[in-house]
Amino acid sequence: MEAKLTFIDRLLTLERRVCRVYQRWAANQTFSADLRSFFSAMAEEEEQHRAILERSAGLLNFAAVPPQTSDAQMEKIEAEISTAERAGEKPGLTADEALGHALALESSELNRFDDAWLRGFHPDLGTLTQAVMPEFELHIRRLSDAVSSFTANENLHKEAAALLSEYERRK
Amino acid residing at 93:
L
**What's the DSSP call for residue 69?**
-
pLDDT for position 82: 96
Give me the sign of the Cα torsion angle 109, 168, 84, 155. Answer: positive
Residue 1 pLDDT more than 80? no
pLDDT digits (tens, 9 = 90+) for 66-90: 667 778 888 899 999 999 999 999 8
How many domains are there within the chain?
1
Averaged pLDDT, 33-57: 89
pLDDT digits (tens, 9 = 90+) for 120-130: 665 555 555 55
Q: What is the DSSP code string of 19-30?
A: HHHHHHHHT-TT
What's the pTM value of the predicted model, to 2 decimals?
0.85
> Any idea what the CATH number is for the domain that residue 117 is in?
1.20.1260
Residue 143 pLDDT more than 70? yes
Cβ contact 6:20 at 8 Å: no
- HSE at residue 161, side-chain half, CA atoms within 13 A, is 7
Residue 110's domain spans which residues?
2-170
